Amino acid sequence: MPRIALYPGSFDPPTNGHLSLIQRGLKMFDGLTVAVLRNLAKDKDPLFTVEERVDLLKGAVNGDKRVTVKTFEGLLVKFAKQEKVNTVLRGLRAVSDFEYEFQMANMNRKLDPELETLFMMTGEDYFYISSRFVRDVARLGGDVKGLVPANVLAALQEKFGK
Ligand code: ADP
C-alpha cells in the first residue's frame, strides 16, 4: 500500500514555504494529498478562490504525479477517513505557530485517535514566508518574487496589474 499523507491548509496563495514542505514530505511519503480548506472562518477576505488555489497548487507542483490536490470542508478527521489517510502533515514556522498547531493536533487526535499529525520545521529560507504576508505585500504593490512559485507570481501580477 502506498503511504500517503494529507497536507491541509488554506494556501491563499501557495508559497515557496508550502512547496518546500511538499517536496520534503515526498521524501517520507509515496504521495501527498494537498487539501484546500473551504469556508474557513478566518478566510473572510480571500485573495484567490478555492478553485484558483487548486489550480495554482497543481501548477506549482508541475504535474508531479505523487501530488493530488483536493478541497475539503468541515472536519479534517472526517476528510482523512474518507480519503483513508491516517497521517496529517503540517509545517511549523515559529513559536507562534506552535500553540495553535498543538491544540489542533490534540483536538484531532481526540476526535480520531488513529490520526497522527506530523510536523516539519520550516527551512531557514522559508520561516518568514506566510500566505498572509504574501497577500498583504502583494496587495500593497510590493514584490513577492522569490517567495512564491512562478505561476503564483504571474497570477498575483495579473490580479494587481503589474
Ligand atoms: P492555515 O491557513 O491552515 O495555517 P496555510 O495555508 O497557511 O494553512 O499553511 C498550511 C500549512 O503549511 C501549515 O501547517 C503551515 O504551518 C505550513 N506552512 C505555511 N507556510 C510555511 C513555511 N513558510 N514553512 C513551513 N511551513 C509552512
Which grid cell sits at 152?
A: 503564483
Per the residue annotation, which of 24, 66, 93, 159 is the catalytic one? 93
In this structure, are residues 159 and 153 in contact, taking their beta carbons and an 8 Å threshold?
Answer: no
Could you write out the DSSP letters of every residue in 110-142?
HH-TT-EEEEEEPPTTTTT--HHHHHHHHHTT-
Rounded to an integer, what is the distance from CA 107 to the centroid of its chain? Answer: 19
Query: Which residue among the candidates 10, 53, 90, 131 is catalytic per the annotation?
Result: 131
Report pLDDT digits (tens) over 38-65.
975 655 779 999 999 999 999 999 999 9
For this structure, is 20 an active site residue?
no
Q: Hey, which residues does 122 pair with through a beta bridge?
A: none
Average pLDDT over residues 110-118: 96
Residue with cell 507542483: 61
Compute the distance from residue 2 Cα to the ligand 1 centre, in Å.
24
Supply the pLDDT for residue 133: 94
Q: Evaluate if residue 88 carries a pLDDT over 70.
A: yes
d(CA 105, CA 99): 10
pTM of this structure: 0.94
pLDDT tens, position by position, 9-18 = 999 999 999 9
- pLDDT tier for residue 89 given thresholds of 50, 70 and 90: very high
